[in-house]
């Protein structure tokens, strides 16, 4: 994590959701449930770069416009295949 605090109480995660699908919104919602994450949403990378809090953002998660299609293409081996899976 790229935070300037040594032991932060929470991590700020910037999320760019280009998919805006039900699935991507569920992912964002689930991340918001973690008490140690402060989730900030942005429309694009330029908006992240322009924010006053960018020096305090620990990570940026970009959910691409083809997120749902990519998830639909996954099979069980991709998720559980370890180093041989599609998520390796």
- Bin 82: left if φ > 0, else alpha if -120 < ψ < 50, else beta: left
**Rounded (10°) CA dihedral 2, 53, 31, 78:** -50
Q: What is the pLDDT of residues 27-68, one digit of tens each?
A: 999 999 999 999 999 999 999 999 987 788 999 999 999 999
Is the pLDDT at 6 greater than 60? The verdict is: no
DSSP strand pairing (37-42 vs 11-17): parallel
Number of neighbours of residue 37 by Cβ within 10 angstroms:
15
Alpha-carbon distance of 66 to 62, in angstroms, equals 11
């Amino acid at each position: 994590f790229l935070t300037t605090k040594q032991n932060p109480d929470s991590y700020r995660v910037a999320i760019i959701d280009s998919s805006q699908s039900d699935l991507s919104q569920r992912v964002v919602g689930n991340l918001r449930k973690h008490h140690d994450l402060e989730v900030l949403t942005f429309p694009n990378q330029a908006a992240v770069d322009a924010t006053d809090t960018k020096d305090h953002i620990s990570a940026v998660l970009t959910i691409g416009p083809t997120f749902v299609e990519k998830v639909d293409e996954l099979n069980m081996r991709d998720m559980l295949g370890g180093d041989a899976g599609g998520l390796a």
